Amino acid sequence: MQQPRSTSSTGSISGPRNVILVTGDSTQDLTHVVECLKDICNKANDGSFCAKDALYNWKISNKYYTANVEFQLLEATAASRLSVIQAHRNNHSLCNRVDAFIYVFQKEQPTSFDGLKDWLAYLNDQAPAIKLCVGLPSANQLDEDVNAWCVAQEIEYVDMDAEAEDKYDKVGHELILESLQAHMWEGIDMKLDLENTSRLPLDFDDAELDLDDQDSDLGLPDSEAVQQMQEKLFGTIDEDDGLDMALKSLERMRLQGMSLPDDERRRMAAEVALSFAAQLGLDDDDDH
């Protein structure tokens, strides 16, 4: 299990970075987004939510780990935003625990998107692993410009009007959940024994994955591509900070994938998944 961060950058006592900061012009909008996430998770028995005032506690439970995270809802209107941001920065016990940032705006009110720009200095300093911008449904077509700006700032844009092109695509609230559940939060409890990860075989041939030339016809990456991905992610796993470096590489790939066409993004995801299987010594027979 990862150890909680004991001190903040300012020297203040701090807990693990397990806070999801949700902010925007309207508390009603922020609450609506988080309540939708709560309903989806609770219906799927995928973790559990409990709420009190502006604080939501979420116990994420997936195939790989359980983690306790907090949603903090913070209204920041145009008139109060700068003072709200400064007050949040001064609250070191909270600010230094934020590892996911979600900005919510109304596409029917284009100026509400501009508030995100006031948070850029904070995002650069705090460097949360997850940065999302959520555009609530509207007939206004702002998405292309908003998405381009977000990609340039390494922020993932979640368009609530988007429709999935196929069954593998995640959009809207499902995309938000996918981003949050894929993150390796501080203080997580692993369901897999990853303590011995560094002793697992790095030789791709030992992973017993049945990849051959026919896989390219199915749109799957070939053995060489998966082996290269495995080396990129796990080549330094034996070093003291090897796991942290692997997680940072994953985050860079996630951001890179934001600007890729769907087929290339799915191919990259397949390479990552298969490289994990190789690293963990999994056999594709486990799926049958």
24-28 long-range contacts, Cβ below 8 Å, gap at least 24?
24/75, 24/76, 24/103, 24/104, 24/105, 24/112, 24/115, 25/75, 25/76, 25/77, 25/78, 25/105, 25/106, 25/109, 25/112, 25/115, 26/75, 26/104, 26/106, 27/54, 27/73, 27/75
Please indicate, yes or no, if residue 86 is contained in any of the structural domains: yes
Structural domains of the chain, count: 2
Per residue in 78-98, pLDDT (tens digit) is 999 999 999 999 999 999 999
Q: What is the pLDDT of residue 225?
A: 82
Residue 260, domain member (yes or no): yes
Given 181, 206, 227, the domain boundary residue is 181
Q: For 136-169, what is each residue's pLDDT tens digit?
A: 988 776 678 898 999 999 999 999 998 887 777 7
Residue 26 buriedness (CB in 10 A; 0-12 / 13-18 / 19+): middle
Q: Are residues 102 and 146 located together in one domain of the fold?
A: yes
Q: Are 233 and 275 within 8 A, CB to CB? A: yes
Query: Within a domain: residue 9?
Result: no
The Cβ of residue 266 has, within 10 Å, a number of other Cβ atoms equal to 16
Cα–Cα dist 278/254, whole Å = 20
Q: Which two tokens stand for residue 179?
A: 């981003």
Q: Is residue 1 part of a domain?
A: no
The pLDDT-based confidence of 265 (bands split at 50, 70, 90) is confident
Distance, CA of 19 to CA of 204 (rounded, Å) = 37
Range picked from 146-150, 163-167, 189-193, 245-249 for highest mean pLDDT: 146-150
Same domain flag for 177 and 198 = no
Domain boundary among 131, 158, 181: 181
Looking at the structure, do residues 158 and 232 belong to the same domain, yes or no? Answer: no
Same domain, 137 and 208: no
Please name the residues in contact with 63: beta carbons below 8 A apart, sequence gap of 6 or more.
191
More confident residue, 33 or 274: 33
Q: Which domain holds residue 143?
A: 19-181
Q: Same structural domain for residues 242 and 212? A: yes
Q: Would residue 221 count as lying in a domain?
A: yes
DSSP symbols for 8-70: -TTS-B---S-EEEEEES-HHHHHHHHHHHHHHHHHTTSSEEEEETTEEEEEEE-SSEEEEEE
CB within 8 Å of 180: residues ≥ 6 apart? 20, 60, 69, 100, 130
Pair (234, 107) in one structural domain: no
Q: State the average pLDDT over residues 52-71.
A: 83
Same domain, 136 and 266: no
> Is 115 in the same domain as 224?
no
Q: 181, 204, 232 — which closes off a domain?
A: 181
Q: Is there a single domain that holds both residue 96 and residue 213? A: no
**C-alpha distance from residue 234 to each of 24, 145, 227, 240, 241 (Å):** 38, 36, 10, 12, 11
Whether residues 160 and 241 share a domain: the answer is no
